[in-house]
């Protein structure tokens, strides 16, 4: 299956989640565990995506300029920088470290 099909299927499923909240009786979804799982999974997925993009290189782990990006982003976030500045700090750190010959 090509990427297009997975992409469009993802769009359908994303809309299905949203619509479920409006169409399914609230009593079915009011289980506190449902919102707990939705919340903890959001944290877990974002933490995992951060790590994968920082240190994974295919099926191995690599320590390179992306670690500098992670540190720069953390510093920007500590100083309450807006999202776009955080992203630019990450890009700048990775590009800068590569200019210096690391990773």
Residues 6 or more apart whose CB falls under 8 angstroms from that of 14 comprise none
Shortest gap between Cβ of 101 and other proteins (angstroms)?
A: 13
Q: Where are the beta strands (DSSP E) in the chain?
A: 56-57, 60-61
Scanning residues 1 to 20, which ones bind other proteins (CB under 8 A)?
A: 1-11, 13-15, 17-20
Q: Verify binding: residue 63, other proteins, rule CB under 8 A.
A: no
The verdict on 51 binding other proteins (CB under 8 A) reads yes
Position 48 contacts other proteins (CB under 8 A): yes
71 closest CA partner among 94, 48, 49, 53: 94
Q: Which is nearer to other proteins, 18 or 101 (by Cβ)? A: 18
Residues in 68-87 that interact with other proteins by CB under 8 A: 68-70, 72-74, 76-77, 82-84, 86-87
CA angle 8/11/15 to nearest 5° reads 145
């Amino acid at each position: 299956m090509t990427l297009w099909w997975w992409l469009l299927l993802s769009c359908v499923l994303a809309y299905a989640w949203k619509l479920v909240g409006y169409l399914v009786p609230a009593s079915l979804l009011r289980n506190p565990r449902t919102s707990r799982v939705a919340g903890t999974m959001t944290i877990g997925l974002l933490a995992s995506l951060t790590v994968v993009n920082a240190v994974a290189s295919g099926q191995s782990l690599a320590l390179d300029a992306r670690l500098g990006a992670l540190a720069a982003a953390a510093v920007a976030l500590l100083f309450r920088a807006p999202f776009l500045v955080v992203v630019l700090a990450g890009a700048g750190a990775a590009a800068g470290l590569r200019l210096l010959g690391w990773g």
